[in-house]
Structure 1
Amino acid sequence: MNIVLATLNAKYIHTSLALRYLKAYAEKDFPQIAIKEFTINDVALNIVSEIYQLHPDVVAFSCYIWNIEETIPVIKMLKQVKPDVKIIIGGPEVSYDIDEWLQRLPGVDFIVYGEGEETFHHLLTEIAADQKYHMVFGIGYLKDGQPVITPPRPKVNLTEIPSPYRDLEDLKGLKNRIVYYECSRGCPFTCSYCLSSIEFGVRYFPMERVKEDLLRLIKAGIKTIKFVDRTFNINRSYAMEVFQFLIDNHRDTIFQFEITADIMRPEVLDYLTEHAPPCIFRFEIGVQSTNDETNAIVKRRQNFQKLTRTVVKIKESGKIDQHLDLIAGLPGEDYQSFRKTFNDVFALKPEELQLGFLKMLRGTEVRKNADQYGYVYMEHAPYEILYNDVLSFDDVIRIKRVEDVLEKYWNAHRMDTTVQYLIAENFDSPFDFFQEFGDYWESKGWRRIGHQLEDLFVRLLQFLKDRNIRNMDVAVGLMKFDYLRGHKYKPRKTWWEFSLDKQEFASIMKKILEQPARMGDKFHGKGWTERELHKHGMIEILPFNLKEYLETGTIKKQKSLLLVTYDPHEKGGTEVFSRLF
């Protein structure tokens, strides 16, 4: 029996952990299983053609909110060209409202709900043999046009699930993609907007199996491993053992974890800040809201003071990047409350601040109680809110603009120094900067127009000029600084006209080479020739003391020389040098 396990990932760089679990569990009895991963941007006909040419008897799709609407046309077309194929769907998106999915998708023969390993294997056994589908726990199907949903299957014993990463040929194709891994299943918390809250308790894979898997992935050259454990640090001793193992064996692989920051123990923080190599760990921290009333409504326990302590200590270590999440549209949080939440979290200066919008996921308590809070949301995935009783659609639209500009100007780290200066000197709060700029961006119609890097600087400059900000010359100087230091190689063009003519430029370059020590010992040590400096260096005159500002945050109106070098012989070869002019 030929079996194809398929899914549509959001991006090519993503990979499916679920498909690899299903194959690992079933292949001992069904060796002819192929994994096919596509993306939501692939053409449906191309997907169907590729699957069709494998001559499958069974095709199973893994379904999520990000791919279900793109998967449906594939299912319908596949059934048209191969009516006898058995089509199975599973995953979180179709594990709830099963009767509705069966009626909506008549081309689907079976829905697997809940954990899929044992259920999928049992279902394949019945398809191949007696077809006693009522004996398979954890599935739904139509019989005589009526939905049949069998009882849920007990949770699988995690010690009985084979590793999803035993196939060395498969691993060869994953080196430059994100590999997902889990040490545990379940979540101890009961947040009403999250599917993980439905499964009570946390179960762990054996530590030795986890270490063997991780070492196999590391040795295979996997560059990024993302742990999908809902709260990785809930078990302190387990988390510490994994952290220590990765520190000892990392080989420069990057590991990303979802942690709950307010329960992070001080001794764990101390260990990581002392022993973790720089940049191998990334922490994703779901803050969602700092409104205590909102957190109480969604049954989310959070101590923001302790969370802040953790985030600040990690940031001060300079070793671990932090990605903090917010959710706009939670019950009881209006526009002004969300503004405060945003400002509270932005003040922690995370490397990335992701602003998302509440999605009314199937099976969650918040969806079941939608009427209580006046929710109106999209009928189809991703079920994002349109408005509720305290947040209007106008508010949602405006916060969307904040999200857009936040991604371009903060999370992309194109001009961190400039943004922080503007917020501190010209705007009431971080949220107000992003909101005003987002509104301006929309008013100019830029949302419908593509952009290059230079355009981002030009558009910010236009916004600042129209707003008539204070100390415009300082803002422009910092924008030049951010632009030049943000390149790996000497930029071929700039978004401004240089303040120096050719004669002045040549004179300054000559003085730099005659007295290289004035630019600092590091530049002096380069021993560059005039030709090298012209080829790999850029200079600009700024109207303030850049070095003083970077060190103290104080603006002194003293002209300074900015020199940025792009050394082709050094990793991360962009360096900034400055002195008074």
Structure 2
Amino acid sequence: MKIICTTLNAKYIHTNIAIRYLKAFAKPEFDIDIVEFTIKDPTINIVTDLIQRKPDLIGFSCYIWNIEETIKVIKMIKKIDSSIRIVFGGPEVTYDVVDWMEQVPEVDFIVIGEGEETFKQLLQQLHNKEINYTEVKGIAYREDGKVRITPQSNKIDLRELPSPFRFEEDIPQLTKRVTYIETSRGCPFSCQFCLSSIEVGVSYFDREKIKDDIRYLMSNGAKTIKFVDRTFNISRSYALEMFRFLIDEHVPGTVFQFEITADIMRPEVIEFLNQEAPKGLFRFEIGVQSTNDFTNELVMRKQNFEKLTRTVTMVKEGGKIDQHLDLIAGLPEEDYFSFRKTFNDVFALRPEELQLGFLKMLRGTGLRIRADEHQYIYMDHSPYEILGNNVLSFQDIIKIKQVEDVLEKYWNDHRMDHTVEYLVNHFPTPFDFFQEFGAYWESQGWAKIGHQLEDLFKRLQQFLQFIEFNDLETVIGLMKLDYLSKAKYKPRKPWWEPTLDKKERADMYQTILQKPSIVGENFANLHLNERELYKHTLVEKIPFDLTTYLNFEKIEASNTIMIVYFNAAQEKANFFHLNNEIKAF
């Protein structure tokens, strides 16, 4: 048989570990071709590629982000060649199996749950002359016009699974794409909105095999390795051992990402990381979801926010690890004002990224099964996002989506750290700043168009002028600081009108050329000639003392001449001001 395993990834940089496990487990009896696409690829292009490979069977790895596009692909394939067998697997089709088989008649089989052993058993039966599907554990198929389901087997011994990373055809892509790796399966918690809550217990892969895989990946150029364990730090000793290994044997330039449960992380583990981990080696993703205790109780989520705060704060103070914190809007009994508090509670921790997501009623989860208890309405098709419930209206959801839009652009992308930090302290709460700005953003129609970097600064200024913000000059000064600190080269046309005219700038440059020490010793040591001064520096007025602000993050009103030198060799901006050197970014 000619067998293909494929999926539609959300982005090109993603890879799918599931189909690689299927390929590795099926060897040596079956040789499987791995083919990956993205959900952005035109359906006809995907179908053309697959059909030209002349497969007898195609297995699709299905998730909420790709199921609708995947169905379009297989319907077209079946029209072209109905003899090609189609197999679905993955978390999206593991639940409501009969419903999937009835809705999508083009699917011949569904592999339920862990797929490695089941998929191989299915291939063996299809290869036999006398087929007996009851010998395959955990599949759905059709017989006499009815859907049949075979019982699932016990969980696979993960220690015996072959590596999914040793395929030569993957090596050229390792530097360009995210590599996913798992050291365990299952989750010890029972959060009712999550598919992992359905699984019982946690099982582990062989540690030494995992370490060998990581060595192999790094030696072949892998740059971003993301652990998909639901709770990487459930075992303190295991997490410490892996952290120690990664610190000792990492290749410079490699980044490791983990999903951790912050409130169970011991201070001594964080202290170890703060002392031993190189800056930028690790990145933590932490699901907070809600700080409403009653809401967490309703979804069977155990969380100690005080301990979570301690962990996030200690990690942040260590300055070694970036943190990505998640919130979910729409959990039971969390209305708009409760979610506002949740947002402010978490934003107070100042994570490097704060992702604001919306509840998805995933198939098989307890929350979907009991949706009527909280009067949930939600999308019929993936991603099954909620449209409202008994305490959160659709209009409330629209307002929170406005927050999400500007939060992503102005906080998570770190284009205006100084500016946003100042602004959120001059509104009733951080949430109120993002909400007011987000509502204005939508009212201007900006949510429907693209944006250059300069546009983001102009639009924030326009919003602040619209609400008649009472300290606009200071904010514009901070915006200039943010804009220039991110620039590698002198901007040809900044987004603001210059505060100095040509003659004032020329006079100032002549003064600096005659006596560069007035800008400070370090500036004088640059030994810039007239041409270099004009080409690589920018002079601008700001309304606060730059020294005080950069050293103490305190605004003191003072007319300051800021001189910015754009270092082409270092690709960064250096900030000075007359008579007193400030600092270099």
What TM bracket, shorter-length normalisation? over 0.9
Go from structure 1 to structure 2 and tell me whether the alpha carbon gap of 1:518 and 1:310 turns closer, same or farther (over 3 Å shift).
farther
- 1:511 positional shift: 3.7
> Aligned residue for 1:473?
473
> Aligned residue for 1:41?
40
Go from structure 1 to structure 2 and tell me whether the alpha carbon gap of 1:4 and 1:500 turns closer, same or farther (over 3 Å shift).
same
Go from structure 1 to structure 2 and tell me whether the alpha carbon gap of 1:250 and 1:563 turns closer, same or farther (over 3 Å shift).
farther
Question: Quick check: 2:485–2:572 contact (8 Å CA) kept in 1?
Answer: no
Question: Quick check: 1:406–1:434 contact (8 Å CA) kept in 2?
Answer: yes
TM-score when scaled to structure 2?
0.96
> Aligned residue for 1:451?
451
Output the amino acid matched with 1:269.
I
What aligned pairs does 1:5-20 form with structure 2 within 5 A after superposition? 5-20=5-20
Secondary structure in 1 matching 2:343: helix
> Aligned residue for 1:69?
68
Output the amino acid matched with 2:258.
F
**CA deviation profile, 1:213-271 (whole Å, cap 9, x unmatched):** 11111111111111100010111111111111111122220111000111111111011
> Aligned residue for 1:154?
154
**CA deviation profile, 1:182-218 (whole Å, cap 9, x unmatched):** 1111111110000011112111111110110111111
The whole-number CA distance in structure 1 between the counterparts of 2:163 and 2:534 is: 55
Residues 1:382 and 2:383 are matched in the alignment: yes
Go from structure 1 to structure 2 and tell me whether the alpha carbon gap of 1:525 and 1:262 turns closer, same or farther (over 3 Å shift).
farther
Secondary structure in 2 matching 1:543: strand
Question: Quick check: 2:78–2:106 contact (8 Å CA) kept in 1?
Answer: yes
Residues 1:168 and 2:176 are matched in the alignment: no
Question: Quick check: 1:21–1:117 contact (8 Å CA) kept in 2?
Answer: yes
The whole-number CA distance in structure 2 between the counterparts of 1:169 and 1:34 is: 10
> Aligned residue for 2:121?
122
- 1:82 positional shift: 1.4
Question: Quick check: 1:91–1:113 contact (8 Å CA) kept in 2?
Answer: yes
Residues 1:54 and 2:56 are matched in the alignment: no
The whole-number CA distance in structure 1 between the counterparts of 2:446 and 2:53 is: 45
- 1:524 positional shift: 4.2
Secondary structure in 2 matching 1:269: helix
What aligned pairs does 1:506-517 form with structure 2 within 5 A after superposition? 506-517=506-517
Residues 1:397 and 2:379 are matched in the alignment: no
> Aligned residue for 2:583?
none
Q: Which moved more, 1:310-319 or 1:381-390?
A: 310-319
The whole-number CA distance in structure 1 between the counterparts of 2:70 and 2:49 is: 14
What aligned pairs does 1:393-472 form with structure 2 within 5 A after superposition? 393-425=394-426, 427-472=427-472
**CA deviation profile, 1:326-379 (whole Å, cap 9, x unmatched):** 000000100000000000000100000000000000010000010001100000
Q: Which moved more, 1:552-561 or 1:212-221?
A: 552-561
> Aligned residue for 2:229?
229
Go from structure 1 to structure 2 and tell me whether the alpha carbon gap of 1:487 and 1:144 turns closer, same or farther (over 3 Å shift).
farther
The whole-number CA distance in structure 1 between the counterparts of 2:553 and 2:566 is: 26
Go from structure 1 to structure 2 and tell me whether the alpha carbon gap of 1:517 and 1:406 turns closer, same or farther (over 3 Å shift).
same
What aligned pairs does 1:501-580 form with structure 2 within 5 A after superposition? 501-520=501-520, 522-570=522-570, 572-578=571-577
Output the amino acid matched with 1:183.
T
The whole-number CA distance in structure 1 between the counterparts of 2:504 and 2:14 is: 51
The whole-number CA distance in structure 2 between the counterparts of 1:411 and 1:35 is: 34
Go from structure 1 to structure 2 and tell me whether the alpha carbon gap of 1:513 and 1:131 turns closer, same or farther (over 3 Å shift).
farther
- 1:478 positional shift: 0.8
What aligned pairs does 1:310-389 form with structure 2 within 5 A after superposition? 310-389=311-390
Output the amino acid matched with 1:264.
M
Aligned length: 578
Go from structure 1 to structure 2 and tell me whether the alpha carbon gap of 1:298 and 1:514 turns closer, same or farther (over 3 Å shift).
farther
- 1:563 positional shift: 2.6
- 1:445 positional shift: 1.4
Go from structure 1 to structure 2 and tell me whether the alpha carbon gap of 1:34 and 1:464 turns closer, same or farther (over 3 Å shift).
same
- 1:525 positional shift: 4.2
The whole-number CA distance in structure 2 between the counterparts of 1:348 and 1:512 is: 43
Go from structure 1 to structure 2 and tell me whether the alpha carbon gap of 1:117 and 1:578 turns closer, same or farther (over 3 Å shift).
farther
- 1:178 positional shift: 0.7
Q: Which moved more, 1:462-471 or 1:171-180?
A: 171-180
**CA deviation profile, 1:51-90 (whole Å, cap 9, x unmatched):** 1111101100000000001111001001111111111010
Structure 1 residues not aligned, in runs of 5+ = none
The whole-number CA distance in structure 2 between the counterparts of 1:481 and 1:53 is: 55
> Aligned residue for 1:243?
243
- 1:502 positional shift: 1.5
- 1:499 positional shift: 1.0
Secondary structure in 2 matching 1:526: coil
Go from structure 1 to structure 2 and tell me whether the alpha carbon gap of 1:477 and 1:212 turns closer, same or farther (over 3 Å shift).
same
Output the amino acid matched with 1:552.
F
- 1:141 positional shift: 1.2
> Aligned residue for 1:86?
85
Go from structure 1 to structure 2 and tell me whether the alpha carbon gap of 1:319 and 1:557 turns closer, same or farther (over 3 Å shift).
same
Question: Quick check: 1:60–1:88 contact (8 Å CA) kept in 2?
Answer: yes
Output the amino acid matched with 1:558.
S
Output the amino acid matched with 2:234.
I
Go from structure 1 to structure 2 and tell me whether the alpha carbon gap of 1:258 and 1:513 turns closer, same or farther (over 3 Å shift).
farther
Secondary structure in 2 matching 1:331: coil
- 1:505 positional shift: 1.4
The whole-number CA distance in structure 1 between the counterparts of 2:517 and 2:246 is: 42
Question: Quick check: 2:518–2:579 contact (8 Å CA) kept in 1?
Answer: no
Go from structure 1 to structure 2 and tell me whether the alpha carbon gap of 1:144 and 1:515 turns closer, same or farther (over 3 Å shift).
farther
Structure 2 residues not aligned, in runs of 5+ = 581-585
The whole-number CA distance in structure 2 between the counterparts of 1:216 and 1:528 is: 48
- 1:580 positional shift: 6.7
Question: Quick check: 2:258–2:284 contact (8 Å CA) kept in 1?
Answer: yes
The whole-number CA distance in structure 2 between the counterparts of 1:514 and 1:183 is: 64
Secondary structure in 1 matching 2:557: coil
**CA deviation profile, 1:133-180 (whole Å, cap 9, x unmatched):** 121011101212211111012110012211110113312222111111
The whole-number CA distance in structure 2 between the counterparts of 1:202 and 1:530 is: 67
- 1:561 positional shift: 2.2
Question: Quick check: 1:359–1:384 contact (8 Å CA) kept in 2?
Answer: yes
Question: Quick check: 2:517–2:579 contact (8 Å CA) kept in 1?
Answer: no
**CA deviation profile, 1:410-463 (whole Å, cap 9, x unmatched):** 1111111111111112x1000000000111111111112222111111111111
Output the amino acid matched with 1:99.
V
Output the amino acid matched with 1:100.
D
Secondary structure in 2 matching 1:190: coil
Secondary structure in 1 matching 2:425: helix
**CA deviation profile, 1:388-417 (whole Å, cap 9, x unmatched):** 001011100100000001001111111111
Question: Quick check: 1:284–1:324 contact (8 Å CA) kept in 2?
Answer: yes
The whole-number CA distance in structure 2 between the counterparts of 1:126 and 1:522 is: 76
Question: Quick check: 2:5–2:33 contact (8 Å CA) kept in 1?
Answer: yes
**CA deviation profile, 1:524-551 (whole Å, cap 9, x unmatched):** 4433333233222222110111221232
- 1:573 positional shift: 2.6
The whole-number CA distance in structure 2 between the counterparts of 1:336 and 1:409 is: 22
Question: Quick check: 2:286–2:323 contact (8 Å CA) kept in 1?
Answer: yes
The whole-number CA distance in structure 2 between the counterparts of 1:269 and 1:512 is: 48
The whole-number CA distance in structure 2 between the counterparts of 1:67 and 1:147 is: 24
Secondary structure in 2 matching 1:93: coil
> Aligned residue for 2:279?
278
> Aligned residue for 2:207?
207
Question: Quick check: 1:545–1:580 contact (8 Å CA) kept in 2?
Answer: no
> Aligned residue for 2:94?
95
**CA deviation profile, 1:96-139 (whole Å, cap 9, x unmatched):** 00000001111111000100100111111111113211210111
